């Protein structure tokens, strides 16, 4: 009996150790986000705010916020924070699509298959049509606008005094004839979603500014997500930049006509609330609205030039494979945004096999480079084996020799990257020791194929000082020194 009890205790202990090892590590996430974003910030001196949501199993969703750079290009300016205001740009389109989905799910008065012309203000604006070679007239439907299949150009109106009014947009539409059949090909169009905004505002009898507040921002507690900012909110705006240190405008020449396609400002605090809602974690009981907006409806086939495209689109929301090398069937949902001086990104995924929901939002005060790649890299990491520090193969070429490189940056605070090369497949360990020789971290402890790898190391919980990292791979051993300065 004692023997059975002992075996039971050992098994339980072993399972407990495995569970502890599998716990998500926020410090590792911080190190990875910092590594991904820092290169972006270093390249353009951008202010970047990142928000992350992670929900595993029956546990409550956990949020993380990270700040990088400065709100102005000079490093003496303050760092951005949770209340710093950025332009959302085209992520605004997802707000318009959400309101459209609300109307559809409440049973009308419109449907995605309705003709656009049936939901426009009479005698003010018309929906352009296509006349085919046989003389037949083909009309666009609501779904065409919401999926960029309306055959409308992107942003064709020449502004006057740096402004595009609704009257200018109406005049263009009233005199425009489609050059091809709507409903056949994907062609991204700011004009198309702006016309969808006219459909929504005409249906609900209110301007788009107010509808965003009434239908989405106020119910979600998003007081800083607005088209028109108060003086106090304007004092919290980050300065936007076209490139380098060239300041950009806070007003797009396509506004106010294109407000429904790109007019909103927000903070990372509000943006996280919106992400939580779109991930179905806000508890507002609107899952049918989200399902309708995010359901795959068409292919993003690049104006029919790529019939085998893997990209998909719902109501504005787009879907792509997260990591083709791992699983070509696992899609994530996203929307990007960019104005003349800001960029934004929102993406999320639901891995039912792991009972894991993850999401990322990114805001930047630089248009170039856009921050979509940052969001995708972070989302990929969240859906990888985050129980390890993060081992990345960085080259497909087989190195000629085993080598341990100097960490970078060095000195560091608190994160650094260690690179090493293996010329053969071997069991490999990479460990960190303090100045007294005490082991403080095991970064690698597994069989690895020949290649060059990088691994993140965070000294967030360690004191300043000299540390050593040691690589052992078969009979190869090498040790290097690094400095943690806080």
Predicted confidence (pLDDT) per residue in 259-294, tens digit: 999 999 999 999 999 999 999 999 887 999 999 999
Q: How far apart are CA 323 and CA 378, in angstroms?
A: 12
Percent helix, strand and coil across the chain, each rounded to 5? 30, 30, 40
- What are the DSSP calls for 410-458, one per residue? SSBSSEEEEEEEESS-EEEEEEEEETTS-EEEEEEEEEE-SEEEEEEEE
Average pLDDT, the chain: 89
SS3 at position 409: coil
Q: For residue 398, how far is the Cα from the chain centroid?
A: 33
What pLDDT is recorded for position 394? 63
Q: How far apart are CA 425 and CA 450, in angstroms?
A: 5
The answer to whether residue 146 scores a pLDDT higher than 50 is yes
Q: How far apart are CA 73 and CA 245, in angstroms?
A: 6
The answer to whether residue 26 scores a pLDDT higher than 70 is yes
**Peptide linkage before 369 cis (omega within 30 of 0):** yes
Q: How confident is the model at residue 7 (pLDDT cuts 50, 70, 90)?
A: very low
The answer to whether residue 327 scores a pLDDT higher than 70 is yes
What pLDDT is recorded for position 45? 77
**Domain 87-382, CATH number (from 2.40.10.230, 3.40.710.10, 3.40.50.300, 3.10.450.50):** 3.40.710.10
The answer to whether residue 13 scores a pLDDT higher than 70 is no
What pLDDT is recorded for position 395? 60
SS3 at position 94: helix
Burial class (CB in 10 A: 0-12, 13-18, 19+), 397: exposed
The answer to whether residue 385 scores a pLDDT higher than 80 is no
The answer to whether residue 92 scores a pLDDT higher than 80 is yes
Domain segments of the chain as ranges: 87-382, 391-484
What pLDDT is recorded for position 393? 62
Higher pLDDT, 48 or 245: 48
SS3 at position 479: strand
What pairs with residue 416 in β-bridges?
457
Q: How confident is the model at residue 305 (pLDDT cuts 50, 70, 90)?
A: confident
Q: What is the CB neighbour count within 10 angstroms for residue 9?
A: 10
The answer to whether residue 18 scores a pLDDT higher than 90 is no
What pLDDT is recorded for position 391? 59
Q: How confident is the model at residue 107 (pLDDT cuts 50, 70, 90)?
A: confident
Which parts of 143-245 are beta strand (E)?
A: 241-243
What pLDDT is recorded for position 311? 95
SS3 at position 115: strand
Contact of 443 with 373, CB cutoff 8 Å: no
What pLDDT is recorded for position 6? 44
Nearest C-alpha neighbor of 84 from the set 365, 341, 360, 370 = 365
Q: How confident is the model at residue 464 (pLDDT cuts 50, 70, 90)?
A: very high
**Peptide linkage before 411 cis (omega within 30 of 0):** yes
Contact of 312 with 300, CB cutoff 8 Å: yes
Gap between the terminal Cα atoms of the chain: 54
Q: How far apart are CA 288 and CA 104, in angstroms?
A: 10
**Peptide linkage before 116 cis (omega within 30 of 0):** no
What pLDDT is recorded for position 396? 56
The answer to whether residue 372 scores a pLDDT higher than 70 is yes
Q: What is the mean pLDDT of residues 217-231?
A: 97
CA torsion angle 38 39 41 43 (round to 10): 160
Q: How far apart are CA 142 and CA 106, in angstroms?
A: 16
The answer to whether residue 243 scores a pLDDT higher than 90 is no
The tens digit of pLDDT for each residue in 111-121 reads 999 999 999 99
φ, ψ of residue 297 in degrees (nearest 5): -120, -35
The answer to whether residue 201 scores a pLDDT higher than 70 is yes
Percentage of the residues of the chain whose pLDDT score is greater than 90:
69
What pLDDT is recorded for position 304? 87
Fold category of 391-484 in CATH: Immunoglobulin-like (2.60.40)
Q: What is the mean pLDDT of residues 171-192?
A: 96
Residues 6 or more apart from 246 whose CB is under 8 A from it?
Answer: none
The answer to whether residue 451 scores a pLDDT higher than 90 is no
Contact of 280 with 289, CB cutoff 8 Å: no
Q: How far apart are CA 2 and CA 15, in angstroms?
A: 20
What pairs with residue 65 in β-bridges?
51
Task: Provide the token pair at 47.
Answer: 């202010």
Task: Provide the token pair at 364.
Answer: 């930047």
């Amino acid at each position: 009996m004692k023997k059975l009890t002992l075996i039971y205790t050992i098994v339980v202990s072993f399972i407990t150790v495995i569970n502890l090892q599998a716990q998500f590590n926020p410090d590792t996430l911080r190190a990875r986000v910092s590594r991904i974003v820092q290169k972006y910030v270093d390249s353009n001196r951008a202010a970047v705010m990142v928000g992350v949501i992670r929900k595993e199993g029956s546990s409550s969703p956990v949020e993380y916020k990270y700040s990088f750079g400065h709100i102005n290009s000079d490093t003496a300016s303050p760092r951005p924070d949770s209340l710093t205001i950025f332009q959302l740009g085209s992520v605004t389109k997802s707000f318009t699509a959400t309101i459209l989905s609300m109307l559809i799910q409440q049973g009308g008065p419109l449907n995605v298959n309705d003709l656009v012309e049936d939901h426009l203000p009479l005698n003010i604006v018309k929906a352009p049509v296509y006349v085919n070679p046989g003389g037949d007239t083909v009309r666009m439907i609501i779904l065409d606008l919401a999926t960029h299949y309306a055959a409308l150009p992107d942003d064709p109106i020449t502004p006057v005094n740096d402004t595009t009014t609704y009257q200018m947009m109406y005049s263009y539409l009233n005199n425009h004839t489609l050059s091809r059949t709507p409903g056949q090909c994907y062609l991204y169009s700011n004009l198309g979603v702006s016309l969808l905004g006219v459909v929504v505002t005409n249906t609900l009898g209110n301007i788009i500014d107010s509808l965003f507040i009434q239908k989405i921002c106020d119910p979600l507690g998003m007081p800083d997500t607005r088209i028109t900012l108060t003086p106090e909110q304007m004092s919290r705006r980050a300065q936007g930049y076209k490139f380098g240190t060239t300041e950009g405008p806070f007003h797009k020449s396509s506004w106010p006509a294109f407000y429904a396609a790109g007019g909103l400002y927000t903070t990372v605090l509000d943006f996280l609330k919106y992400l939580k809602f779109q991930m179905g974690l806000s508890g507002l009981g609107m899952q049918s609205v989200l399902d309708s907006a995010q359901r795959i409806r068409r292919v993003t086939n690049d104006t029919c030039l790529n019939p085998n495209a893997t990209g998909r689109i719902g109501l504005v929301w787009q879907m792509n494979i997260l990591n083709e090398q791992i699983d070509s069937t696992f899609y994530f949902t996203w929307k990007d945004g960019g104005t003349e001086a800001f960029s934004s990104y929102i993406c999320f995924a639901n891995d039912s096999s792991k009972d894991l929901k993850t999401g990322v939002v990114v805001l930047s005060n630089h248009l170039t480079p856009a921050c979509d790649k940052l969001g995708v890299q972070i989302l990929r990491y969240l859906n990888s084996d985050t129980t390890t520090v993060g081992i990345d193969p960085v080259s497909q070429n087989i190195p000629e020799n085993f080598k341990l490189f100097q960490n970078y940056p060095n000195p560091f605070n608190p994160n650094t990257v260690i690179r090493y090369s293996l010329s053969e497949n071997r069991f490999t360990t990479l460990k960190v020791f303090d100045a007294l020789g005490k082991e403080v971290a095991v970064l690698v402890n597994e069989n690895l194929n020949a290649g060059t790898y990088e691994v993140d190391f965070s000294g967030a919980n360690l004191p300043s000082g000299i540390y050593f990292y040691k690589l052992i791979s078969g009979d190869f051993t090498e040790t290097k020194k690094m400095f943690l300065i806080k």
